[in-house]
C-alpha cells in the first residue's frame, strides 16, 4: 500500500551499526572530478588485503608520504570531518591558488549487521538490504571483511547534498549470518572540491576555508547513515518528490501532475491507470503512459489534468492501478493543492506561482512564475532568471524574493532540472526554452481564462542569472543568440577550468599529451569565452560585486575585456560592465536596483519574436563546437563540421551593395533562414540571389570543396551525429536502459545509474531486457528515446544488431571489441561510446562495454552525470585508470 512503512517487528529484527571510528588515508592531490577516472580507493587495490600500517607517497606532505590516521564521526548524525592541519596549505595556495586545495582521501569504517534475536520466529529467510545515504562524498562501496566477492561496486554519493534525494537501496555483498553479527568494510572516496557559493556557505560543496571558517586549512565534511530493510511487496509514495501545480481561481496553472513512487518489492511493478475516487464534474485525470518500476527503483508517474470547470478542492483523491507478479493492486493517493487568487488582485512583489509541464514531452517538471503587474496588448519579452549552484527554487525563498515583479513582463524561474543540474548546459539549458514555451502554451489555451495575458510561444527573452546562473546566462546567450534580446549575467565565472584550474591533475604526469588534448577538448563546448563572438547584437549588462569572495571579480572583467578584443564593445549602451564596489558574492539587491531594472524594462520592449530573426550587421562571426548544442545567429546555423571536435566558424560581412559575403572555417554544412529583402549571398564564390519571399537555403560543401545549395521545404535540422557523451542526457523520452536477459549484475549497474540520473537531473529511466528492447525494435515502437546498452560480461543481441559489421561515423571498428587481440588493437578493459539510434536520426545510443566486472566498474564511473568530467564521443579504458587516471585511457575521439 502507498505510505506503508516497514513494520516495527520486521525493522527491529535485523539491526545495523556503523562504527563512528574511521581510518583515513590522505591527502592526495587531484583535480576536480578526477575521481571519475581514478579508482575511488586510490592508491589502494581493495581486492587485496589492506595494510593499515603502510605509507603512501603524496606531494602535499613535507616528507612526501602519508599514513593512515584515526578520526571519529558524530554518532547521531554520522557526520565526519577530516582535515590535515600539518599540510602547508597557505604556501601551496600561494603558487597553485584554489587548485592546490583539491585533494582526495580514502575513508574506511566497519558496518555490522545483527541478526534477529530469535530468527526461527522471524518468519522470513530473506536477507536484508541496506538503505545508504552518503552526503558530500563522491563514491562508496561495501565489502565483506574477509572472503566473498572483493570486487568493489562503487555507488555514487550525493556529493552536492541535493535536496529531495533518495537513499540508495543496495544488496549486501554477502549473506549475513543468522546466528551472529556480520561485519563489512565500508570505503568512501572523500574528495575536497572548491565549488560555487550562491548566497550562503551552507549552499556550497566545501569552498574556500578562509571564507567559511577563517582558516587556511580545508575541511572535508561527509555524512554517512545506514539502516536495514527487508524487501516487502509494496510501492511507496514519495510525497516530497511529487510534482503539482498551483491553482488560480480554481484552474490548474499547468496541465501535469507527477506522482513519485518507489518499488520496495523484489518484483517489478507496472503502473497501468489512474481513477478518481469520486467523480468530479469538469475535472479528470489521465495516465500518460504505462510506467514500469524495477525493484528498488523510483520513478515519476506522469498524469495529465483534464479540466473544463474550476476545481476548488484542497485535496484530490485518486487511485493508481498497478500490477506485479503477485497480482493487481490499487494505490490510494491524496494530493494537496495550493489555491491562489488571480494575480491581478495581488500586488505583492513576492507573489510566485508554481507551474508544471512535461519536460521534453515526458517528465513532469515544476517551475516558478512571477506574473506581470499589469496586462498588455503588445507582448513583452519575459525575464528568465537562472539560479546559482545549490539553490532549490521550490524550498529556498531568497532567490525568488530577490526578483521583483515586472510591469508587463512575466518572470520565469526554471529549476535547471535540479539545484545543481548540468550548470545550465545541455539538458539544463534546454529547460530554459521548455519553460518559456510551456508558459506560452498555457497562457494561450482558449479553455483557460488567461488569454489576455498571453505571450507568443516563439518569443525572445531577457536572461538574467547569478553565480552559476550568471555563467549559464553567458553560456545560453552565446549558444542561442537569436532567442535572447538582452542579458544580465551577475557574478558569473568564465568556465570551470578558469574557476578551479586542472593543474593538480594526477594523470598529467603520465598521459599522452595528444590523447589528453582530445579528452580536454570534450570540455570545449562549455568554454564560454570561445563563443563570445556569438553575442554580437545582444545587449548585455554584466554585473559583479567588487569584493566577491567566491567568483573573483576578474572573471567578469576578463569577459568584458575579451569582448573588446573582438571589437564587440563599440556601443557602450550595448555591452556594459557594472561593478558594485565592496559587495560580496551575493547581495539581495543584485537585480533589484534602478540600473538593472531600467535595463530590463528598456530591452523587454524590443521586437520579441525570434522567428523574425535579426538583421545582419556589418560583420559577424558565428562560432560552434557541437552543432547539436548551438542555435542560430541572425538566422544562420552550422549543421555539420568538417572535422568534428574542432571549432567551426562562419564570418559574415555585409557590403554597401546589399551583398552578404560568408567565409567559413571547418564548416561542411549550414543553413540560412530570414525573410524580407532582396540581394545576393556570396559563400566563398557560390552566389545565391535573394528575392522578396522568405528564404531557407542549405549550403553543403562537397568532396571537391565547392559549395552547393538546396531549398528544402522540410526545415528539420540535419545535425551532424557527433557530440560528446553528455549528449545521451538530452533524450526525447525516458532514457531506455537495455540489459541482457536474466542478468542481475547488469540490472544492478542500470539501477545505480538510474538512481544517479534521478538524484542529479531528475531524469526518468525505463529499464528493459534485451528481449523487450528487441521486441519494440521489431514492432516499430521503440520510440525516439535515447538508449543506453549495458554490454558487460553478458552481451545483448540488441547491441549486436545495432553494431553489426559496418563502420559508423563516431567510432573506429576496434572499439567494438573489448580485449587485446593478436592483430595489435589497443589494450582495453572497457569502452564507452556513442552510436547511432536504430530508428531516429535525432536520437543516440550509448554503449557501455566490458568483459568483466572490474572493467565495467571503470566504465560506469565515466557515465556523464556531472559536469567537468572528460567525455568525448568514445573512450577505450584500461585497468591502468585505477592508478593513473586519464592516463589509463588508451583511445579516444
CATH number at residue 790: 3.30.379
Same domain, 336 and 363: no
For residue 66, tell me if it sits in a domain: yes
For residue 730, tell me if it sits in a domain: yes
What are 794-832's pLDDT values in tens digits? 999 999 998 875 444 445 445 544 443 433 444 568 999
Q: Dihedral of CA 35/37/39/42: which sign?
A: negative
- Facing residues of 301 across strands? 259
Same domain, 563 and 672: no
Give whole-number Cα distances, 427 to 476, 624, 720, in Å.
12, 18, 18
Same domain, 268 and 287: yes
Looking at 271, 306, 340, which one is the last position of a domain?
Answer: 340
**Grid cell listed for 220:** 572535508
The rounded distance, in Å, linking the Cα atoms of 496 and 82 is 25
For residue 519, tell me if it sits in a domain: no
Residue 287 has φ and ψ, to the nearest 5°, of -70, 130
- Would you state the pLDDT for residue 697? 87
Residue 642 has φ and ψ, to the nearest 5°, of -70, -45
Q: What is the CATH number of the domain that holds 302?
A: 2.60.40
- Would you state the pLDDT for residue 571? 64
Same domain, 85 and 138: yes
Query: Which residues contact residue 335 at a Cβ distance below 8 angstroms, ignoring those fewer than 6 apart?
Result: 242, 244, 257, 259, 315, 316, 317, 318
- Would you state the pLDDT for residue 816? 46
Same domain, 640 and 583: no
For residue 796, tell me if it sits in a domain: yes
Output the DSSP codes for 277-328: SS-BTTEEEEE-S-EEE-TT-EEEEEEEEEESS----SEEEEEEEEEETTEE
Give whole-number Cα distances, 229 to 16, 149, 178, 236, 751, in Å.
10, 22, 15, 14, 18
What is the domain extent for residue 478? 348-498+527-610
Residue among 347, 361, 245, 346 at smallest CA distance from 305: 245
Q: Whose grid coordinates read 562504527?
A: 19
Same domain, 325 and 366: no
SS3 content of the chain, % helix, strand, coil (to 5): 20, 35, 45
Same domain, 224 and 77: yes
- Facing residues of 619 across strands? 653
For residue 479, tell me if it sits in a domain: yes
Total of domains in the chain: 5
Cβ(597)–Cβ(404) under 8 Å?
yes
Q: What is the CATH number of the domain that holds 397?
A: 3.40.50.1820
Residue among 169, 184, 138 at smallest CA distance from 39: 138
For residue 655, tell me if it sits in a domain: yes
Same domain, 374 and 448: yes
For residue 2, tell me if it sits in a domain: no
What are 648-657's pLDDT values in tens digits? 999 998 776 6
Which 8-state DSSP code applies to residue 128?
P
Same domain, 159 and 124: yes
Query: Which residues contact residue 121 at a Cβ distance below 8 angstroms, ignoring those fewer than 6 apart?
Result: none
- Would you state the pLDDT for residue 5? 40
Query: Which residues contact residue 97 at a Cβ distance below 8 angstroms, ignoring those fewer than 6 apart?
Result: 501
Same domain, 428 and 559: yes
Hey, which bits of 702-859 come out as E strands? 707-710, 735-739, 765-769, 787-791, 830-836, 844-850
Same domain, 675 and 744: no
Say how far residue 374 (Cα) sits from the centre of its chain. 36
Residues in the chain: 893
Query: Which residues contact residue 552 at a Cβ distance below 8 angstroms, ignoring those fewer than 6 apart?
Result: none
For residue 503, tell me if it sits in a domain: no
CA atoms within 13 A on the CB side of 197: 20
**Grid cell listed for 300:** 515519476
Same domain, 568 and 673: no
Q: Report H helices in 486-569.
A: 496-499, 513-521, 554-565
- Which residues in the chain show pLDDT less than 50? 1-11, 121-123, 197-203, 611-612, 806-810, 812-813, 816-826
- Would you state the pLDDT for residue 610? 57
Looking at 610, 642, 660, which one is the last position of a domain?
Answer: 610
Cβ(715)–Cβ(827) under 8 Å?
no
Looking at 188, 205, 229, which one is the last position of a domain?
Answer: 229
- Rg of the chain over Cα atoms, rounded to whole angstroms, equals 28
Amino acid at each position: 500500500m502507498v505510505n506503508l512503512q516497514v513494520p516495527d517487528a520486521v525493522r527491529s529484527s535485523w539491526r545495523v551499526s556503523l562504527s563512528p571510528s574511521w581510518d583515513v588515508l590522505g591527502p592526495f592531490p587531484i583535480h576536480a572530478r578526477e575521481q571519475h577516472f581514478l579508482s575511488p580507493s586510490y592508491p589502494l587495490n581493495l581486492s587485496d588485503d589492506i595494510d593499515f600500517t603502510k605509507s603512501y607517497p603524496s606531494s602535499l606532505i613535507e616528507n612526501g608520504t602519508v599514513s593512515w590516521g584515526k578520526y571519529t564521526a558524530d554518532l547521531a548524525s554520522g557526520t565526519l570531518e577530516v582535515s590535515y592541519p600539518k599540510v602547508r596549505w597557505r604556501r601551496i595556495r600561494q603558487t597553485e591558488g584554489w587548485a592546490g586545495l583539491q585533494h582526495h582521501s580514502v575513508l574506511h569504517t566497519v558496518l555490522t549487521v545483527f541478526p534477529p534475536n530469535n530468527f526461527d520466529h522471524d518468519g522470513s529467510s530473506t536477507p536484508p538490504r541496506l538503505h545508504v545515504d552518503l552526503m558530500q562524498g563522491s563514491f562508496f562501496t561495501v565489502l565483506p571483511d574477509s572472503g566473498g566477492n572483493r570486487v568493489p561496486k562503487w555507488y555514487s554519493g550525493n556529493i552536492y547534498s541535493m535536496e529531495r534525494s533518495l537513499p540508495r537501496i543496495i544488496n549486501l555483498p554477502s549473506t549475513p549470518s543468522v546466528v551472529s553479527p556480520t561485519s563489512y568494510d565500508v570505503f568512501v572516496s572523500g574528495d575536497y572540491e572548491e565549488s560555487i557559493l550562491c548566497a550562503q556557505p551552507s549552499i556550497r560543496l566545501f569552498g574556500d576555508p578562509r571564507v567559511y571558517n577563517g582558516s587556511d586549512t580545508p575541511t572535508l565534511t561527509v555524512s554517512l547513515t545506514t539502516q536495514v530493510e527487508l524487501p516487502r511487496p509494496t510501492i511507496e509514495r514519495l510525497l516530497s518528490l511529487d510534482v503539482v501545480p498551483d491553482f488560480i481561481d480554481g484552474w490548474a496553472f499547468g496541465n501535469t501532475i507527477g506522482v513519485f513512487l518507489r518499488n520496495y518489492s523484489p518484483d517489478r511493478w507496472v503502473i497501468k491507470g489512474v481513477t478518481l475516487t469520486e467523480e468530479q464534474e469538469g475535472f479528470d485525470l489521465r495516465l500518460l503512459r504505462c510506467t514500469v518500476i524495477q525493484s528498488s527503483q523510483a520513478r515519476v508517474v506522469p498524469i495529465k489534468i483534464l479540466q473544463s470547470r474550476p476545481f476548488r478542492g484542497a485535496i484530490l483523491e485518486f487511485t493508481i492501478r498497478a500490477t506485479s507478479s503477485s497480482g493487481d493492486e490499487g494505490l490510494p493517493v491524496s494530493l494537496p493543492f495550493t489555491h491562489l487568487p488571480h494575480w491581478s488582485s495581488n500586488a505583492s512583489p513576492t507573489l510566485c506561482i508554481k507551474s508544471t509541464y512535461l519536460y521534453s514531452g515526458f517528465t513532469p517538471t515544476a517551475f516558478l512564475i512571477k506574473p506581470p503587474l499589469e496586462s498588455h496588448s503588445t507582448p513583452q519579452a519575459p525575464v528568465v532568471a537562472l539560479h546559482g549552484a545549490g539553490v532549490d527554487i521550490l524550498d529556498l525563498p531568497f532567490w525568488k524574493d530577490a526578483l521583483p515583479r515586472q510591469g508587463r513582463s512575466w518572470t520565469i524561474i526554471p529549476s535547471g532540472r535540479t539545484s545543481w543540474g548540468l550548470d545550465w548546459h545541455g539538458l539544463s539549458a534546454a529547460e530554459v526554452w521548455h519553460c518559456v514555451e510551456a508558459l506560452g502554451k498555457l497562457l494561450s489555451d482558449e479553455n483557460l481564462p488567461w488569454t489576455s495575458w498571453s505571450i507568443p510561444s516563439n518569443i525572445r527573452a531577457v536572461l538574467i542569472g547569478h553565480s552559476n546562473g550568471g555563467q549559464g546566462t553567458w553560456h545560453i546567450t552565446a549558444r542561442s543568440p537569436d532567442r535572447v534580446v538582452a542579458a544580465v549575467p551577475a557574478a558569473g565565472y568564465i568556465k570551470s577550468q578558469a574557476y578551479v584550474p586542472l593543474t593538480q591533475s594526477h594523470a598529467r604526469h603520465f598521459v599522452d599529451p595528444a590523447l589528453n588534448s582530445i579528452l580536454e577538448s570534450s570540455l570545449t563546448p562549455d568554454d564560454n569565452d570561445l563563443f563570445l563572438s556569438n553575442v554580437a547584437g545582444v545587449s548585455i549588462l554584466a554585473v559583479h560585486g567588487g569584493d566577491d569572495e567566491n567568483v573573483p571579480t576578474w572573471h567578469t572583467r576578463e569577459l568584458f575585456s575579451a569582448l573588446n578584443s573582438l571589437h564587440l564593445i563599440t556601443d557602450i549602451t550595448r555591452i556594459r560592465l557594472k561593478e558594485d564596489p565592496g559587495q560580496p558574492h551575493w547581495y539581495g539587491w543584485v537585480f533589484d536596483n534602478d540600473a538593472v531594472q531600467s535595463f530590463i524594462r528598456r530591452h523587454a520592449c524590443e521586437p520579441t519574436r525570434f522567428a523574425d530573426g535579426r538583421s545582419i550587421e556589418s560583420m559577424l562571426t558565428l562560432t560552434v563546437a557541437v552543432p547539436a548544442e548551438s542555435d542560430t545567429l541572425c538566422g544562420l546555423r552550422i549543421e555539420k563540421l568538417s572535422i568534428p571536435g574542432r571549432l567551426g566558424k562562419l564570418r559574415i560581412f555585409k557590403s554597401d551593395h546589399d551583398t552578404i559575403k560568408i567565409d567559413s572555417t571547418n564548416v561542411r554544412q549550414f543553413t540560412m533562414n530570414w525573410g524580407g529583402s532582396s540581394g545576393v549571398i556570396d559563400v566563398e564564390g557560390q552566389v545565391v540571389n535573394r528575392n522578396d519571399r522568405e528564404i531557407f537555403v542549405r549550403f553543403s560543401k562537397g568532396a571537391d570543396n565547392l559549395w552547393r545549395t538546396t531549398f528544402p521545404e522540410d526545415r528539420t535540422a540535419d545535425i551532424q551525429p557527433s557530440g560528446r557523451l553528455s549528449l545521451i542526457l538530452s533524450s526525447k523520452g525516458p532514457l531506455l536502459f537495455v540489459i541482457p536477459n536474466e542478468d542481475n549484475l547488469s540490472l544492478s549497474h542500470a539501477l545505480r545509474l538510474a538512481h544517479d540520473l534521478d538524484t542529479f537531473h531528475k531524469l526518468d529511466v525505463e529499464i528493459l531486457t534485451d528481449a523487450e528492447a528487441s521486441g519494440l525494435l521489431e514492432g516499430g515502437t521503440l520510440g525516439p528515446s535515447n538508449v543506453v546498452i549495458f554490454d558487460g560480461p553478458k552481451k545483448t543481441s540488441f547491441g549486436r544488431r545495432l553494431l553489426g559489421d559496418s563502420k559508423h561515423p563516431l567510432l573506429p571498428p576496434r572499439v567494438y571489441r573489448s580485449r587485446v587481440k593478436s592483430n595489435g588493437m589497443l589494450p582495453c578493459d572497457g569502452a564507452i561510446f556513442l552510436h547511432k539510434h536504430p530508428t531516429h536520426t535525432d536520437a543516440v545510443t550509448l554503449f557501455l562495454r566490458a568483459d568483466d566486472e572490474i572493467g565495467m566498474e571503470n566504465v560506469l564511473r565515466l557515465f556523464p552525470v556531472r559536469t567537468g568530467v572528460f567525455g568525448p564521443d568514445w573512450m577505450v579504458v584500461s585497468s591502468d585508470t585505477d592508478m593513473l587516471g586519464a592516463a589509463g585511457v588508451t583511445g579516444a575521439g
